[in-house]
Chains A and B, each alone.
Chain A
Amino acid sequence: MSKTDTAASGIPKEIERFNIIFRIQHVLMFTTFLILSFTGWGLKYAHDPEGLSSIWIRVWGGPDTAGLIHRIAGVTMLLDFIWHVIYLIYLFATKQMTINTKTTVIPLPKDIFDVIKNFMYFFGLSKEKAKFGKYSYAQKFDYWAVFWGMFIIGSSGYALAFPMQVSYLIPEFTTGWIWELLGLMHSDEALLAIVFILFWHFYNEHLKPEVFPMSWIWITGKISTENLKHHHPLEYELLFPEEAKKEKKG
């Protein structure tokens, strides 16, 4: 099962995993995410460690400017997210994207079993790791975390950045506690998002020995067929059923 075999049988060397639009959306997402994290951190931990945040915020042009940068980045991120959702709707409407259990990013019961299977493998209770389709549970988790973040941090952030406009929308009975809650939501979940990215995303897409220093798919959008077979065997079987069958027999 060498590369020459597969090349000879007419399988492309690599396939496109993310098109240019998805890649741009990802770049916009992570640049704004980093800017928001850096500027927001200074405000969240304004008092401790004493004096350090003042210096950190000065790096971002002082609190007035840092606040403006944070708002611009926040709005950009929200627009990026809206663009993504609209683009998905467009892809579905034009049938360029359809739901298939082996390629969908939607969480399925299989993902839970995959987690259990992998944990068993980690503990040495199973000989095999879980086999994934186009998206592993780790990648699905990564993807939907953004939706959760947009729902909690994005909405509260929008309300905090434009309180006057939002105040007309909120119902009367919530005014006693909603602002406090919005502040807590924004700050607590932002910390969750930062730690999540730092541990989950950075480990899975950067630090893991097999991808270090990073998975290049975010730039090229391409995944080698070899890699696909190894990391996404179910998708490979779906895309190249003939080859997969041959390989299994062989």
Chain B
Amino acid sequence: MSQKTKAVAVAPLLFLLTLFLLLPSAALSQESETCLSCHSAMKGTIKTQSGSMVDLNVDADKFKASVHAALPCTECHLKFSGVAHASTGAAVPSDILSLSSKISAKFTSDPVAGAACTKCHEEVYQRVLSSVHGKNIIEKKQGDGALCLDCHGSPHYITKIKDGKSPVSRKYQVETCGKCHGSQEIIEKYKLEENVMDSFKESFHGRKLHLGHTRAPVCASCHNAHDIKSKSDPASPVFGKNKLETCGKCHKGANEKFVPAITHKRPGPIPHYGEKLLIILTMGTFAFIISHVLLEAFADIRDAVFRKKEGK
């Protein structure tokens, strides 16, 4: 009888355990399993028809941990939806094909793969296309960026922003934007604001973020993410009076005298020379107090050793 009750108690537990053990593997589609059986072991890169270099390796564990784990490979790798590796280009839907044809030939990934994100993320993708980043690829036909993968990293390994490991998370976002906005080459090429990274790092915002302040802003907090605009575009959240609303998200009642507090420009002459003045004052004071303290100490030692006082 006790045996029976045990079995009754254990059976559902066993069932749940098996279910748990099965679940993660069930998350991968049959097709992905097939592809990964080779691609998780492969190494090196290969040149595609469009001339981009593609990494052959897909880390199976990292893929399983990504938000896209449940998708079959051909959901995005549309060219391979027929027989793998055989015929390419045939099965790509026309809307994606036309979008991919607009993508600059200099773009770092395969254009069809670059366009495939729109299948599920169409609304966001449209906003990217209207942004300075999207237009740079679609209209200016430049390869530097940015489309989805430039910021989010490989689609195989995309995790939730809140996960903390995502390149667009609070922890890594500034670094990710800095790949381009801190690059001298890109800054010169596009005539970008040149002191963006340093000014943020030195600002109260940047320092607090670095220390782990929970409400300190990251780039997208002020500049927006997918529909990012040039600061000279009236639609930009940091254009002119739009700043009142943007700063006001955190600083209630932000007014026109307050919003100039944050800028990426180098400090003007007054703060610059003001600081120089303060440094001179500080150094002068240090020189006086330190020499005074040291000399006094030496004089005291001298007196104690060589000038034994008579009484007093």
- Closest residue of chain A to B270, judged by CB? A177
Interface contact B299-A164, CB-CB below 8 Å = no
* Other-chain residue from A64, A163, A164, A191 in contact with B214 (beta carbon distance below 8 A): A64
- Closest residue of chain A to B255, judged by CB? A167
CA distance A42 to B212 in the complex (A): 12
Stretch at the interface among A19-27, A84-92, A193-201: A193-201
Interface contact A54-B261, CB-CB below 8 Å = no
CB within 8 Å for A63 and B261 given contacts A180-B271, A184-B274, A196-B289 = no
Within residues 45 to 86 of chain A, which ones have a CB less than 8 A from any CB in chain B? 46-47, 53-54, 57-58, 62-64, 67
- Closest residue of chain A to B296, judged by CB? A122
Secondary structure type dominating chain A contacts? helix
B83 contacts chain A at the CB level, 8 A cutoff:
no
A105 contacts chain B at the CB level, 8 A cutoff:
no
Interface contact B278-A189, CB-CB below 8 Å = yes
B55 contacts chain A at the CB level, 8 A cutoff:
no
B215 contacts chain A at the CB level, 8 A cutoff:
yes
CA distance A191 to B207 in the complex (A): 17
* Other-chain residue from A47, A164, A183 in contact with B258 (beta carbon distance below 8 A): A164
* Other-chain residue from A63, A138, A189 in contact with B211 (beta carbon distance below 8 A): A63
User: Which residues on the B side are within 8 Å of A124 (C-beta)?
Assistant: 302
Interface contact B251-A192, CB-CB below 8 Å = no
Stretch at the interface among B96-104, B172-180, B280-288: B280-288
Interface contact A172-B257, CB-CB below 8 Å = yes
B20 contacts chain A at the CB level, 8 A cutoff:
no
- Closest residue of chain B to A170, judged by CB? B257
CA distance A178 to B201 in the complex (A): 19
CA distance A196 to B293 in the complex (A): 11
CB within 8 Å for A119 and B295 given contacts A54-B211, A64-B215, A180-B267 = yes
Interface contact A63-B298, CB-CB below 8 Å = no
Interface contact B299-A122, CB-CB below 8 Å = yes
CA distance A112 to B289 in the complex (A): 14
Q: How far is the CB of B244 from chain A (nearest CB, A)?
A: 12
Q: How far is the CB of A19 from chain B (nearest CB, A)?
A: 29
Interface contact A63-B213, CB-CB below 8 Å = yes
CA distance A67 to B209 in the complex (A): 13
CB within 8 Å for A200 and B251 given contacts A164-B258, A179-B260, A188-B279 = no
Interface contact B210-A164, CB-CB below 8 Å = no
Interface contact B267-A163, CB-CB below 8 Å = no
CA distance A47 to B198 in the complex (A): 12
CA distance A181 to B261 in the complex (A): 10
Interface contact A164-B270, CB-CB below 8 Å = no
CA distance A183 to B267 in the complex (A): 11
CB within 8 Å for A46 and B207 given contacts A176-B260, A176-B268 = yes
CA distance A208 to B298 in the complex (A): 11
CA distance A130 to B251 in the complex (A): 55
* Other-chain residue from A123, A175, A192 in contact with B281 (beta carbon distance below 8 A): A192
Give 1 or 0 for each of A149-180: 1 = CB within 8 Å of chain B CB. 00000000000100110011010100111011
Q: How far is the CB of A236 from chain B (nearest CB, A)?
A: 14
A10 contacts chain B at the CB level, 8 A cutoff:
no
CB within 8 Å for A164 and B279 given contacts A63-B212, A176-B260 = no
CA distance A160 to B298 in the complex (A): 42
CA distance A185 to B274 in the complex (A): 8
CB within 8 Å for A163 and B213 given contacts A196-B289, A203-B293 = no
Within residues 114 to 134 of chain A, which ones have a CB less than 8 A from any CB in chain B? 118-119, 121-124
CA distance A63 to B204 in the complex (A): 12
User: Which residues on the B side are within 8 Å of A67 (C-beta)?
Assistant: 208, 213
A43 contacts chain B at the CB level, 8 A cutoff:
yes
B151 contacts chain A at the CB level, 8 A cutoff:
no
* Other-chain residue from A123, A164, A188 in contact with B255 (beta carbon distance below 8 A): A164
Within residues 252 to 277 of chain B, which ones have a CB less than 8 A from any CB in chain A? 252-258, 260-262, 267-268, 270-271, 274-275
CA distance A63 to B304 in the complex (A): 49
B90 contacts chain A at the CB level, 8 A cutoff:
no
Q: How far is the CB of B233 from chain A (nearest CB, A)?
A: 22
B59 contacts chain A at the CB level, 8 A cutoff:
no
* Other-chain residue from B206, B258, B271, B279 in contact with A163 (beta carbon distance below 8 A): B258
Interface contact B278-A63, CB-CB below 8 Å = no
Interface contact A54-B257, CB-CB below 8 Å = no
CA distance A74 to B134 in the complex (A): 47
Interface contact A163-B261, CB-CB below 8 Å = yes
- Closest residue of chain B to A45, judged by CB? B207
Interface contact B289-A181, CB-CB below 8 Å = no
Q: List 15 A-B contacts (CB under 8 A).
A: A46-B206, A57-B211, A58-B212, A62-B213, A63-B213, A122-B299, A168-B255, A176-B260, A184-B267, A184-B271, A184-B275, A188-B275, A189-B278, A199-B293, A200-B289
Q: Can you add 11 more A-B contacts, CB < 8 Å, to A184-B271, A185-B274?
A: A43-B204, A43-B211, A47-B207, A62-B213, A123-B295, A163-B261, A164-B253, A167-B257, A181-B270, A184-B278, A203-B293
List residues of chain B with CB under 8 Å of any chain A CB.
201, 204, 206-208, 210-216, 251-258, 260-262, 267-268, 270-271, 274-275, 278-279, 281-282, 285-286, 289-290, 292-293, 295-300, 302, 304
